[in-house]
Amino acid sequence: MTDNPDKLTERRRRSLGPAYRHFYSRPLYLTRGEGVWLFDNDGRKYLDCYNNVASVGHCHPHVVAALHRQASTLNTHTRYLHHAVVEYAEMLAATLPGDLSVCMFVCTGSEANDLAYQIARAVTGNDGAITTEGAYHGNSTLVAELSPDSGRSHPAPDFIVDVEAPYTYRGSFAADHPDVDTAYADLVDGAIATLRERGKAPAMMIIDNIFDAHGILTPGPAYHRSVYAKVRAAGGLIVADEVQSGLCRLGDHYWAFEDAGVIPDIVTMGKPLGDGHPLAVVATTPDIAAAFAKTQHYFNTFGGNPVSATVGKAVLEVVADEDILANVGETGRYLKAGLVELASRHELIGEVRGKGLFLGAELVTDRIDRTPAEDAVHRILERMREAGVLIASTGIHGNVLKFRPPMVFRQQHADLVLAALDEALAETV
Ligand code: PMP
């Protein structure tokens, strides 16, 4: 039943406590979704240019029907045999390159990254972990420590070392550096040396392939290749965190690491897999899975239940049937070109970044000093909401506008976003 938004906000504050945040100064009360559209309690329509969890569109009928069918039939867990979970694991493995053919099921990206570390530690015999400054990998106690700017209690535990992310707009090496990818990758040598000084070696390095929390970064293939080689030479595994960047999001491949032609040892996936249903996965090789199983059994009450697996299968079916990958590529290029065009007219935009339907526009008060324009971002988000378009912000300074819509977003939707943004930028000088 819908309620007055002010009253509901107050009830929420009392019943959920103060740790939760809203996106907008006046909380948005959404009551229905369909494709790329969301509707509020007054029936007002919003174009969703932000929510990646609704990967194939809000309430996709094929996914909803599959969920309903399985939920009406049986839901148990992975201690009984069920065809759907095996079929889903096989389908997911078929989208992955190399030897990545074993899937272990969890419910959230945080759990996936937590399990990835447990596996890496068991398999390598090391306990060191390398993460990137500015990263967010989740909210379990361990994974929060791997999330330097958002979750960590300071100082970091001694088995975790941070390395600077390849942020060419603000970092140690600028985009015009003659070998910028190698320069950033070489910083991993320092992280490995720090672990060694502490008597440790890496069990893993974890990499968010779109560096979302850093402000959306796309280093070249040489960065990934070099980092993979260094970590492996030091005895560690590579964990590719595809929770944000996975499932066709970048438009050329199912998984973002494929852009660099590399194959990680462990892949963690979450958000988009269930089109809104909580479903997350750790994929790895048979050898790594076998080495882990020597010391540990694994069970997750909800992870890999027949309903979740059926939903995951339905999402993969939609991705294939509706040629989502091609749409992400085409619409992503169109939206990015539109953002670049806006940057040519609006000084506030310092840099446009990203790929596929995962794009960022970093706002600065001036282009020489590159002072982060955080206030302008807030004003723009509010204005866009008033114009009926939902986007959000990211980045270590919170000054990067983030465009990451359901992947059924088309050119006509991109036009609406660009027109609303053009007006919002013009009004926000
Ligand atoms: N990894 C990345 C890159 C993320 O962005 C997030 C969530 N924002 C997570 C992991 C954690 O996922 P979850 O919220 O499902 O635990």
Q: Does residue 138 sit in the same domain as residue 178? A: yes
CA of 136 to the centre of ligand 1 (A): 7
Last residue in a domain, options 280, 297, 321: 321
The pLDDT tens digits of the residues spanning 69-91 come to 999 999 999 999 999 999 999 99
3-class DSSP assignment, residue 136: coil
* Rounded CA Rg of the chain: 21
Cβ neighbour number for residue 264 with a 10 Å cutoff: 29
The DSSP line for 340-395 is: HHHHHH-TTEEEEEEETTEEEEEEBS-TTTT-B-HHHHHHHHHHHHHTTEE-EEES
Mean local confidence (pLDDT), 34-63: 98
Q: Is 244 in the pocket of ligand 1 (CB under 6 A)?
A: yes
Last residue in a domain, options 321, 348, 374: 321
What's the rounded Cα separation, in Å, for the pair 312 and 315?
5
Q: Is 151 in the pocket of ligand 1 (CB under 6 A)?
A: no
| Phi-psi region at 248: left, alpha or beta (left = phi > 0; alpha = psi -120 to 50) | left
pLDDT attached to residue 3: 75
Ligand 1 nearest-atom number relative to CA 113: 10
Q: Is 132 in the pocket of ligand 1 (CB under 6 A)?
A: no
Using DSSP, how many helices (H) and how many strands (E) does the chain show?
12, 15
| Maximum C-alpha span of the chain | 62
pLDDT attached to residue 141: 92
* Whether this model's pTM surpasses 0.95: yes
**Angle at CA of residue 214, ends 172 and 390, nearest 5°:** 145
Last residue in a domain, options 295, 321, 347: 321
Q: Is 212 in the pocket of ligand 1 (CB under 6 A)?
A: yes
Cβ neighbour number for residue 172 with a 10 Å cutoff: 13
Q: Does residue 45 sit in the same domain as residue 134? A: no
What's the rounded Cα separation, in Å, for the pair 209 and 358?
11
CA of 244 to the centre of ligand 1 (A): 7
pLDDT attached to residue 154: 77
Q: How confident is the model at residue 149 (pLDDT cuts 50, 70, 90)?
A: confident
Q: Does residue 404 sit in the same domain as residue 274? A: no
CA of 100 to the centre of ligand 1 (A): 21
Q: Does residue 79 sit in the same domain as residue 179? A: yes
What's the rounded Cα separation, in Å, for the pair 115 and 137?
12
Residue from 52, 136, 146, 273 to probe ligand 1 pocket by mutation (most atoms less than 8 Å from CB): 136
* Residue among 384, 217, 359 at smallest CA distance from 376: 384
Which residue, by CA, sits nearest to atom 10 of ligand 1? 137
CA of 2 to the centre of ligand 1 (A): 30
Structural domain harbouring 25: 5-56+323-427
Q: At what angle do helices 306-321 and 83-95 cross, to 10 degrees?
A: 40
Q: Does residue 365 sit in the same domain as residue 404? A: yes
* pLDDT averaged over every residue in the chain: 96
List of residues 6+ apart from 21 with CB closer than 8 A: none
Mean local confidence (pLDDT), 261-266: 98
List of residues 6+ apart from 349 with CB closer than 8 A: 339, 342, 343, 361, 362, 363, 364, 425
The pLDDT tens digits of the residues spanning 333-376 come to 999 999 999 999 999 999 999 999 999 999 999 999 999 999 99
Q: Does residue 106 sit in the same domain as residue 246? A: yes
Residue from 143, 216, 244 to probe ligand 1 pocket by mutation (most atoms less than 8 Å from CB): 244
Q: Is 109 in the pocket of ligand 1 (CB under 6 A)?
A: yes
pLDDT attached to residue 410: 98
**Peptide bond preceding 306: is omega within 30 degrees of 0, i.e. cis?**
no
The pLDDT tens digits of the residues spanning 207-229 come to 999 999 999 999 999 999 999 99
Q: Does residue 294 sit in the same domain as residue 338? A: no
What does DSSP say about strands 37-40 and 45-48: parallel, antiparallel, or unpaired?
Answer: antiparallel
Residue 150 has pLDDT above 90, yes or no: no
Please provide residue 367's backbone torsions phi and psi, each rounded to the nearest 5 degrees: -80, -15
* Residue among 328, 251, 284, 248 at smallest CA distance from 105: 284
Give the domain CATH number at 394: 3.90.1150.10
Please provide residue 180's backbone torsions phi and psi, each rounded to the nearest 5 degrees: -65, -35
| Phi-psi region at 206: left, alpha or beta (left = phi > 0; alpha = psi -120 to 50) | beta
Q: Is 110 in the pocket of ligand 1 (CB under 6 A)?
A: yes
CA of 406 to the centre of ligand 1 (A): 17
What's the rounded Cα separation, in Å, for the pair 116 and 111?
8
What's the rounded Cα separation, in Å, for the pair 396 and 368?
19
The pLDDT tens digits of the residues spanning 100-145 come to 999 999 999 999 999 999 999 999 999 999 999 999 999 999 999 9
Q: Is 136 in the pocket of ligand 1 (CB under 6 A)?
A: yes
Give the domain CATH number at 113: 3.40.640.10
Q: Which residues pair with 162 in a beta bridge?
A: 131
The total of structural domains in the chain comes to: 2
Q: Does residue 73 sit in the same domain as residue 141? A: yes
Query: What Å distances lie between residue 336 and 43, 352, 409, CA to CA?
Result: 30, 8, 13
Residue 1 has pLDDT above 70, yes or no: no
Report the percentage of the chain scoring pLDDT > 70: 99
Q: Does residue 307 sit in the same domain as residue 395? A: no
Q: Does residue 209 sit in the same domain as residue 81? A: yes
Q: Does residue 46 sit in the same domain as residue 23? A: yes
Q: Taken in order 304, 306, 311, 317, is the CA torsion positive or negative?
A: positive
Q: Taken in order 165, 169, 172, 175, is the CA torsion positive or negative?
A: positive
Q: Does residue 317 sit in the same domain as residue 363? A: no
* Residue among 30, 59, 22 at smallest CA distance from 46: 30
Mean local confidence (pLDDT), 233-249: 98
- Please list the alpha-helical segments (H only) found in 56-171: 61-71, 83-95, 109-124, 141-145
Instruction: Specify the residue for token string 């700017």.
Output: 149
pLDDT attached to residue 155: 86
Report the percentage of the chain scoring pLDDT > 90: 96
- Token couple for 380: 């723009």
